């Protein structure tokens, strides 16, 4: 708890997300300085400003809010009231969100994360149920009714559509991960997703992706068909999630079908996906395996069962690619 009662009152009054300009941490600090009297006492309360800024940014909805703050005193000139922008003693406080592993130019992003969100990564998902869940009071029960799934998205998951571009700066991401996402997009949307992924990566940034391997499923189908298996075609279509065994009839079934997004819209193998990655500008494209990433941050987000379909007994198509280091 802040040892200054005035700061506690100020935090209750100004406990909004940190932002620049009027009404943010800088102006709130200036108001507090005014109430303290002589400007000579201002340096002694800087530690309490740190506490206040941390409290202010804690509730921020900005998608790149990170666990720790560094409060930077940008300018200090001598001789004037801290609330006035003219010459004199003026404190400008900027809350710069940082962590031990990240900064605004050193981000790790996974999109289409579902429920698999991890700390120290920015986690995005474009599921409509995520937006419904975040409606105050009624969101969770309404989402459970429409989706048929009572599991909730972790609080660190933010809404973001890679096809439209995620709310991160271009060239700010050093590592990006997409596990079983791109097969749920149409062909053209997938190209938009790769273009946006490339754009947000920094030079030398790493993109690791996993999609169901069409080649492995096709080989299995051909082998089963060669043995005259009557189930070969049915099992092949089921394994690709491209067909519908039954169509929705009741209104609630239609809603769940629209909100679910579990069916695949396009299938890929290593050669076709590699060609699309090269078309988007990626280089050093290779097959990858669980645990072989050079950057240890990927060990925090990758799961072994995403690289291998245990139900089908088939490996998935996992690829690593880089943005050119220029």
Please indicate, yes or no, whether residues 24 and 173 belong to a single structural domain of this protein. no
pLDDT tier at 133, thresholds 50, 70, 90: confident
* Predicted confidence (pLDDT) at residue 81 exceeds the cutoff of 70: no
Which is more confidently placed, 66 or 198?
A: 198
Is a pLDDT exceeding 70 seen at residue 293? yes
pLDDT value at 284 more than 80: yes
Per-residue pLDDT at 125: 95
Residues 85, 187, single domain; the answer is: no
| CA-to-CA separations, 125 to 140, 277, 290, in angstroms, rounded | 16, 21, 22
Are 73 and 190 found together in one domain?
A: no
Write out the residue range of the structural domain in which residue 286 sits.
107-322
Q: What is the pLDDT of residues 226-278, one digit of tens each?
A: 999 999 999 999 999 998 888 777 776 666 666 566 789 999 999 999 999 99
The answer to whether residue 63 scores a pLDDT higher than 80 is no
Same domain, 116 and 263: yes
- Boundary residue ending a domain (98, 118, 148): 98
Q: How many CB atoms lie within 10 A of CB 215?
A: 15
Task: Provide the pLDDT for residue 255.
Answer: 61
Residue 212: is its pLDDT beyond 80?
yes
pLDDT at 52: 43
What's residue 245's pLDDT?
Answer: 85
Predicted pLDDT at 256: 61
Q: With H, G, I as helix, E, B as strand and everything else as coil, classify residue 263.
A: coil
The gap between the terminal CA atoms of the chain, to the nearest Å, is 47
- pTM for the whole structure: 0.66
Number of structural domains the chain divides into: 2
For residue 19, count other CB atoms closer than 10 A to its CB: 16
pLDDT category of residue 33 using cuts at 50, 70 and 90: very low
The answer to which of 104-113, 123-132, 299-308 has the lowest mean pLDDT is 123-132
Q: Which of 68, 98, 128 is the last residue in one of the domains?
A: 98
Per-residue pLDDT at 143: 61
**Nearest residue to 262 (alpha-carbon basis) of 274, 249, 245, 250:** 245
pLDDT digits (tens, 9 = 90+) for 85-94: 433 333 333 3
- 273 and 128, same structural domain? yes
Examine the domain organization and report whether 49 and 169 are in the same domain: no
Q: Which tens digit of pLDDT belongs to each residue from 306-318?
A: 999 999 999 999 9
Quickly state the pLDDT bin for 9 (edges 50, 70, 90): very low
pLDDT at 11 over 50: no
Which among 168, 24, 54, 52 is positioned nearest to 110, based on CA atoms?
Answer: 168
- Is residue 135 located within the same domain as residue 85? no
**Poorest-confidence range of 110-114, 119-123, 134-138?**
134-138
Q: What is the CATH number of the domain that holds 111?
A: 3.40.50
Regarding whether 123 and 48 lie in a shared domain, the answer is no
Residues 17 and 158 in one domain: no
Nearest by Cα to 54 from 91, 23, 96, 9: 96
């Amino acid at each position: 708890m802040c040892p200054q009662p005035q700061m506690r009152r100020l935090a209750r009054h100004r406990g909004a997300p940190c932002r620049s300009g009027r009404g943010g941490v800088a102006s709130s600090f200036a108001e507090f300085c005014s109430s303290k009297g002589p400007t000579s006492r201002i340096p002694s309360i800087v530690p309490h400003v740190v506490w206040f800024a941390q409290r202010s940014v804690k509730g921020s909805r900005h998608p790149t809010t990170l666990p720790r703050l560094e409060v930077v005193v940008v300018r200090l000139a001598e001789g004037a009231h801290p609330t006035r922008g003219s010459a004199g003693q003026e404190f400008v406080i900027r809350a710069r969100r940082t962590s031990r592993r990240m900064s605004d130019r050193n981000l790790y992003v996974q999109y289409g994360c579902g429920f698999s969100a991890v700390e120290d990564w920015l986690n995005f998902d474009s599921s409509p149920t995520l937006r419904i869940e975040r409606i105050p009071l009624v969101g969770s029960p309404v989402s459970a009714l429409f989706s048929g799934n009572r599991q909730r998205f972790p609080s660190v998951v933010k809404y973001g559509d890679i096809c439209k571009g995620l709310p991160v700066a271009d060239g700010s991401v050093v590592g990006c991960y997409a596990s079983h996402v791109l097969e749920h997009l149409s062909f053209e949307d997938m190209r938009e997703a790769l273009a946006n992924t490339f754009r947000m990566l920094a030079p030398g940034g790493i993109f690791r992706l996993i999609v169901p391997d069409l080649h492995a499923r096709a080989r299995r189908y051909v082998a089963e068909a060669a043995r005259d298996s009557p189930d070969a075609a049915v099992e092949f279509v089921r394994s690709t999630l491209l067909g519908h065994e039954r169509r929705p009839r009741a209104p609630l079934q239609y809603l769940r079908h629209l909100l679910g997004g579990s069916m695949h819209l396009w299938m890929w193998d290593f050669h076709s996906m590699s060609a699309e990655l090269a078309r988007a500008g990626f280089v050093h494209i290779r097959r990858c395996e669980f645990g072989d990433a050079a950057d240890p941050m990927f060990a925090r987000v990758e799961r072994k069962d995403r690289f291998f379909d245990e139900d089908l007994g088939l490996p998935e198509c996992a690829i690593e690619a880089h943005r050119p280091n220029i």
